[in-house]
Amino acid sequence: MPRLYYFLTLLLNLAVTVFCADKYSREDFPPGFVFGAATSAYQVEGAANEDGRTPSVWDTFTHGGADVAADQYHRYKEDVKLMAETGLEGYRFSISWSRLIPNGRGPVNPKGVQYYNNLINELLSHGIQAHVSLFNYDHPQSLEDEYGGWISRKMVKDFTNYADVCFREFGDRVSTWSTINEPNIFSVAGYGQGVTPPGRCSPPFGLFNCSKGNSSYEPYLAAYHILLAHASTVRLYKNKYQDKQHGHIGISLFTFWLLPLTNSTEDLAATERAKDFFFGWFMNPLAFGDYPETMKKCVGLRLPVLTKEESKLVKGAFDFLGVIHYTTVYVQDNSQSVKLETGDFYTDMAVNIFLGEDDPYAIFLKELPIRPWGLQGVLEHIKQTYGNPPVYIHENGQVTPHNSSLEDTTRVEYLHAYIGSLLDAIRNGSDTRGYFVWSFLDLFEIVGHGFESTYGLYFVDVEDSNLTRKPKQSAHWYSNFLKDSNASSDKTIQLDREILPSSHQEH
């Protein structure tokens, strides 16, 4: 990469940070804005084989690695008390489909209903809003065994029926529902690379040795069925429940902010193409009724066609968009990879993505570079491209080694920078209505090798049978920010330690 471009990039990034809010308080955010923290069922609940719960594809994928997790199933009262003491205004959690409906369809598990009722009621009794995700990588293994899960259209009906149970049992107390968590990553990683549940892929594209799957086709097929299931669920909620329950429903997408590696015409075009693949894949159908033209051209016949009726069903099927954002990446053109017959998602997209290491998942195993302007970029893109819909930041946080010090200063720096950047985006017109730190507790992480790397505000001692929770410095910082409306958050931070992957810098 040219030395000149590196220094121009450095200067640009530093210039952008001048506009990031360095001093702010809770009172600077709009009325009704909610601050909270998030977890997901398999990563936090434990009790994997108790009270009628059956395995999900995540259990199978990790061979029961989170059978105990943080044991929130038994410790939810303790955890909700911690949330209240921290000052959380909302808690975002997911429901385990196989805990609620053990066979994926059919009889509902009363003990599953009781647990989520207890959790929701406990939250509300402490003044904490319940924000619920219906699905986070964990459909019942029984449906995977029966018909292949999301590669079958049967999932549309089964998922809608599962959602119906959730709305009926819990919807009178839930503020927002998100249907599918980061389906763009789930489709690619689970059905193209084999690195997340259900672990499907095919040579030569999978990162692991997958025993079944088709990396060229299944990610697009799974995404197609996810779009239909989401839209079907939204229609059900709006027609049957929303007027009585007064909640809102949307979907949560994973969003890198994407920048060209160089200022070449090719890298600039590649960056726009990557936005279409990572983000437009789902948002364009939801906003406009069809996939981006770029995707249709690059993927060809392997991209399932949305019929006129399906387009009508999908278009506009959201009250809000959930944004999951951790960092910014750099995009390099790789047009020679395009192979319409035998490609996978990444060769179809025809780009190289630089996250900071050669291993595309390594960045989630170490501290993330603090690039808060990327969150502003994402929110500005949503505002400009999709008509400024309501947005919730559903996940944002910093990773550290699990056994690191409770003095997690880099997480404090990260949260301070990104919340300040969020405030700037709101002041610039973004209709963002909430922010949830990932994660409330140290969790069993899917790309963090279990408890090897964690994001929690609270340390969980997995070596202790009591699974003791201990507040980190970040928990104290977040609590002080939330509780003291007059406190100014003015910690000086270095906003970007690593402008580009070290292997691509010139010295």
Domain spans in the chain, listed from the N-terminal domain onward: 27-496
d(CA 255, CA 475): 25
Query: Does the pLDDT value for residue 95 go beyond 70?
Result: yes
Mean pLDDT of the chain: 89
* Predicted local confidence at residue 209, as pLDDT: 73
Is the model more confident about 282 or about 366?
282
For the segment 369-397, the average pLDDT, to the nearest whole number, is 97
First to last CA, the chain: 11
Positions of E strands within 342-448: 351-354, 391-395, 400-401, 432-438
**Token duo for residue 479:** 């609590």
**Token duo for residue 354:** 């630089």
Is the model more confident about 405 or about 254?
254
- How does pLDDT run across 127-155, given as a tens digit for each residue? 999 999 999 999 999 999 999 999 999 99
d(CA 185, CA 251): 13
Query: Does the pLDDT value for residue 365 go beyond 90?
Result: no
Positions of E strands within 87-182: 90-94, 129-135, 176-181
- How does pLDDT run across 314-346, given as a tens digit for each residue? 999 999 999 999 999 999 999 887 666 678 999
Query: Does the pLDDT value for residue 249 go beyond 70?
Result: yes
Q: Could you say which of 122, 367, 395, 445 is catalytic? A: 395
Using 50, 70 and 90 to split pLDDT, how confident is the model at 484?
confident
**Residue 104, C-beta contacts closer than 8 angstroms, at least 6 positions apart:** 97, 98, 139, 140, 142, 143, 146, 158, 162
Task: Please give the share of the chain, as a percent, with pLDDT higher than 70.
Answer: 88
Positions of E strands within 98-181: 129-135, 176-181
Q: Could you say which of 45, 89, 182, 310 is catalytic? A: 182
d(CA 185, CA 355): 15
- 153: Cα within 13 Å, side-chain hemisphere: 2
Residue 310 a catalytic site member: no
d(CA 124, CA 381): 34
Please choose, from the candidates 282, 453, 477, the residue with its C-alpha nearest in 3D space to the C-alpha of residue 364: 453
* Predicted local confidence at residue 2, as pLDDT: 33
- How does pLDDT run across 37-92, given as a tens digit for each residue? 999 999 999 999 999 999 999 999 999 999 999 999 999 999 999 999 999 999 99
Using 50, 70 and 90 to split pLDDT, how confident is the model at 242?
very high
Query: Does the pLDDT value for residue 427 go beyond 50?
Result: yes
12-26, 103-117, 280-294: lowest mean pLDDT where? 12-26
Query: Does the pLDDT value for residue 410 go beyond 60?
Result: yes
Using 50, 70 and 90 to split pLDDT, how confident is the model at 394?
very high
Tell me which DSSP letter residue 104 carries.
Answer: S
Using 50, 70 and 90 to split pLDDT, how confident is the model at 491?
very low
What does CATH list as the number for 27-496?
3.20.20.80
Please choose, from the candidates 230, 128, 124, the residue with its C-alpha nearest in 3D space to the C-alpha of residue 184: 230
**Residue 379, C-beta contacts closer than 8 angstroms, at least 6 positions apart:** 323, 391, 422, 425, 430, 432
* Predicted local confidence at residue 341, as pLDDT: 65
The residue type found at 10 is: L
Residue 182 a catalytic site member: yes
Query: Does the pLDDT value for residue 487 go beyond 70?
Result: no
For the segment 94-115, the average pLDDT, to the nearest whole number, is 98
d(CA 146, CA 123): 36
For the segment 392-419, the average pLDDT, to the nearest whole number, is 94
* Predicted local confidence at residue 504, as pLDDT: 32
Query: Does the pLDDT value for residue 497 go beyond 80?
Result: no
For the segment 250-256, the average pLDDT, to the nearest whole number, is 97
Is the model more confident about 432 or about 18?
432
* Predicted local confidence at residue 405, as pLDDT: 82
Cis, peptide link before residue 439, omega less than 30° from 0: yes
- How does pLDDT run across 14-48, given as a tens digit for each residue? 333 334 557 899 999 999 999 999 999 999 999 99
- 6: Cα within 13 Å, side-chain hemisphere: 13
pTM of the model: 0.91
Number of other CB atoms surrounding residue 498 within 10 Å: 15
* Predicted local confidence at residue 207, as pLDDT: 74
Please choose, from the candidates 302, 384, 385, the residue with its C-alpha nearest in 3D space to the C-alpha of residue 342: 302
Could you tell me if 139 and 103 are in contact, meaning their C-beta atoms sit under 8 angstroms apart?
no
Q: Over the range 464-482, which residues count as b (16 or more CB within 10 Å of their CB) and which as e?
A: eeebebebbbbbebbbebb
Task: Give the H or E element holding residue 7.
Answer: helix 3-17
